[in-house]
Structure 1
Amino acid sequence: MAQGPLIHHTALGDVAARQLANATKTVPQMSSITPRWLTHLLHWLPVEAGIYRVNKVKDATAVEVDCSARDERELPQTFVDYVENPREYMLSAVNTVLDVHTRVSDLYSSPHNQIAEQLRLTIETIKERQESELINNKEYGLLNNVHPNQRVSARTGAPTPDDLDELLTKVWKEPGFFLAHPRTIAAFGRECTRRGVPPPTASLFGSQFITWRGVPLIPSDKVGIEDGKSRILLIRTGESRQGVVGLYQPNLPGEQSIGLSVRFMGINDRAIASYLVSLYCSLAVLTDDALAVLDDVEVGKYHVYDHTYA
């Protein structure tokens, strides 16, 4: 019996099928974004006209009081003198101009709005710079405002429990948190493990942090590492505690969050829309003993080839 030609049926291929499918798209991911814990933990104060004056007592030991017997009628006379030229902190600006071609925003804003995403990523970058300035700025940054009496050098190179205990003697009035590079915190954890005293953890903002004496070690990659060495800061925060406070300008035009504003600057003759993004901030250390630093902390040099530390 004669047979007809064989017909081979093939399934629709993936490449062709994908032409009818819509891919689920994420918003742009940017690896430089960090949690920026420091800005969350600081107490932020609004300032007028971008100026914050820190008034201080000239000499606390000159204030006299007495605890005499009841029948002694003479009382000491005293007064509290103030520093005549107190330090004033000026707000610092972090600015940039974002340009978006109107053709791009008009045609390619679904499912994600191009202008909104460009602004989001620009604001994230500015806030990363803000945290860096709070730590490293030459005028108001934490590392450049530590009193000489509040500096400690690491005893053995690697950060040890003894070193952190020494910091706690410098900021013993309601210490808030340690601040260090993640690699420095890892080095401290290794040293604790080596000594058989693994540090406990605490939960803040839904994340876990190791602690020492109940004080959390907060990571920030803005605390620099140079030649395998870094620093650990200990900070007391809040105006009522005479600690460290963040400063910002309230009620800015186009305010998006505290101290940050976005303003539309118009569209030029090349159809490019421009947006001015500005952030105004500073930081003040209200008393010398609100801040201390451990210097010359060895965190080891990272070997890329085998992912180990020296």
Structure 2
Amino acid sequence: MSVRAENEAQETPQQALGAAAARNLATTTKSAPQMQEITSRWLLKALPWVSVQGGTYRVNRRLSYSVGDGRVTFVQTGSQVSVIPDELRELPPLRDFEDAEALRELAGRCEQRVYPAGTVITTAGESADAVHLLAHGRIARLGTGSYGDETSLGLIGDGSYFGEQALLSDDAVWESTARAETECTVLVLTRADVLNLAERAPALAEHLRRAALVPEQRTNKYGEAAIDLAAGHSRERQEHELVNNRDFGLLANAAYDQRLQPHDEVPSPDDMDELLSRRRGSKLFLAHPRAIAAFGRECNRRGLVPESIDVGGHRVPTWRGVPIYPCNKIPVRDDRTTSIICMRTGEEEQGVVGLHQPGIPDELEASLSCRFMGIDEQAIISYLVTAYYSAAVLVPDALGVLENVQVSRWR
């Protein structure tokens, strides 16, 4: 199982989201998987995250990173809109369906509708009989609060879809109310049209039959544990890429004049002070646990006792009031050297920020999607877990690195 970051660097005035490539997870219901190698991921918790709705982020005319959106794509000819047939496979009930002729016929059966702003398109609790593909516009998803009041469940935009469960079940109902926030162009594919075609296309009928089994399989405790395991590993890889990726990672993006060398090989209070002196408003240090231990030994040699603070129930050491978060994603090389990162964070402070795009299809957590990929003949369930993210250093002095520090003195 592996995750690979896919980001294409371009010298343009914009910085877009990096996309950690999808990871396939195959699991069986015979035994529950065990959670392993899951860390506290302090970087993901401490880094401010900025929602990038358009997929791009302006960063002082710096680099741009391309983004995969995972949404349905349409073709517009004047006022007429049609869905690209292969894009119907973005819908969970049609995922991995390979019959091109059947997909073309389904695309041709999609009815184009235009809803003025304020129109209630679907009402929660009513019978769902069609999938809606949003070609253009913005739709609000609304639910009912604990006191019967209307609550917002978020917004969806171009390329989104809802109501796909209607293609698999006569008993499907709308889980939320959908209301047009702007004028919306929507393509509607009814369950009746899909079933009508399935009567003449055995491959489609069989695919829908197998897809209808998915909800029952995904609710078993082992399937849920597998998804949690996949999400945990994806977040671990996300933090690793934010530190080490050669295009957008913190270690690669520190300016040369913000890179320091230790005075005496091992990390000392003097080195940490110099890191702090290079920037105003430092919010945090990141260091490998072995580097933190080495720094603690140097403090002991000088009779210094760094203070610690409570962060979410964890005691975290500090230096000059700045927390030192452990991060085992920072590499320790064969010569026992590593790096310590110091940064200022936040847009308002012109610091370091993380970039992500909430509201993606099949979202399990913010900017983390989990798609069911199928069940093989041995009842092994596969999921595709994808995380979308990047990082931006808004000004050079927001990030500093103490390089080539020894985690232990040579004997």
The TM-score with structure 1 as length reference comes to 0.70
Cα 1:273–1:149 shift into 2, 3 Å: same
Cα 1:239–1:256 shift into 2, 3 Å: same
What is the correspondence of 1:77-226 to structure 2 with a 5 Å cutoff?
85-91=61-67, 113-171=221-279, 173-226=280-333
The CA distance in 2 between the partners of 1:158 and 1:218, in whole Å, is: 18
The CA distance in 2 between the partners of 1:289 and 1:92, in whole Å, is: 31
The CA distance in 2 between the partners of 1:106 and 1:152, in whole Å, is: 54
Question: Is 2:408 the partner of 1:285?
Answer: no
Cα shift at 1:155: 0.6
- CA offset digits 1:125-180 (Å, max 9, x no partner): 11110000000001000000000110100110110000000001112x21001100
* 2:356–2:390 Cα contact (<8 Å) kept: yes
Structure having greater relative contact order (Cα 8 Å, sep ≥ 6): 1
Cα shift at 1:269: 5.5
Q: Which residue of 2 aligns with 1:10?
A: none
Give 3-state SS (helix, strand or coil) of 1:231's partner.
strand
Cα shift at 1:86: 3.8
Question: Is 2:36 the partner of 1:36?
Answer: no
Cα 1:130–1:209 shift into 2, 3 Å: same
The CA distance in 1 between the partners of 2:48 and 2:294, in whole Å, is: 29
Cα shift at 1:27: 6.5
- CA offset digits 1:166-215 (Å, max 9, x no partner): 001112x2100110000000000010011001111111111111111001
* 1:108–1:114 Cα contact (<8 Å) kept: no
Question: Is 2:336 the partner of 1:238?
Answer: no
Give 3-state SS (helix, strand or coil) of 1:166's partner.
helix
Question: Is 2:51 the partner of 1:46?
Answer: yes
* 1:229–1:297 Cα contact (<8 Å) kept: yes
What amino acid is the match of 1:88? Answer: S
Cα 1:162–1:27 shift into 2, 3 Å: farther
Q: Can you give the 5+ residue segments of structure 2 that lack an aligned partner in the other structure? A: 1-30, 70-210
The CA distance in 1 between the partners of 2:236 and 2:314, in whole Å, is: 19
* 1:175–1:236 Cα contact (<8 Å) kept: yes
* 1:157–1:297 Cα contact (<8 Å) kept: yes
Give 3-state SS (helix, strand or coil) of 2:389's partner.
strand
**Residue number among 345, 350, 364 corresponding to 1:256 in the alignment:** 364
Q: Can you give the 5+ residue segments of structure 1 that lack an aligned partner in the other structure? A: 1-25, 56-84, 94-101, 302-308
Cα 1:164–1:120 shift into 2, 3 Å: same
Calculate the aligned-residue CA RMSD, in Å.
2.8
* 1:92–1:282 Cα contact (<8 Å) kept: no
Cα shift at 1:291: 0.3
Cα shift at 1:119: 1.0
* 2:347–2:353 Cα contact (<8 Å) kept: yes
- CA offset digits 1:197-245 (Å, max 9, x no partner): 1111111111111111001110010000011100101011111111100
The CA distance in 2 between the partners of 1:257 and 1:237, in whole Å, is: 22
* 1:161–1:192 Cα contact (<8 Å) kept: yes
Give 3-state SS (helix, strand or coil) of 1:179's partner.
strand
The CA distance in 2 between the partners of 1:289 and 1:143, in whole Å, is: 14
Give 3-state SS (helix, strand or coil) of 1:293's partner.
strand
The CA distance in 1 between the partners of 2:317 and 2:374, in whole Å, is: 48
Q: Which residue of 2 aligns with 1:64?
A: none
Give 3-state SS (helix, strand or coil) of 2:231's partner.
helix
What amino acid is the match of 1:280? Answer: Y
Give 3-state SS (helix, strand or coil) of 1:48's partner.
coil
Cα 1:202–1:91 shift into 2, 3 Å: farther
Q: Which residue of 2 aligns with 1:97?
A: none
How many residues align? The count is: 237
* 1:238–1:245 Cα contact (<8 Å) kept: yes
Give 3-state SS (helix, strand or coil) of 1:191's partner.
helix
Q: Which residue of 2 aligns with 1:98?
A: none
- CA offset digits 1:43-99 (Å, max 9, x no partner): 0011134322213xxxxxxxxxxxxxxxxxxxxxxxxxxxxx543244589xxxxxx
Cα shift at 1:115: 0.6
Cα 1:109–1:92 shift into 2, 3 Å: closer
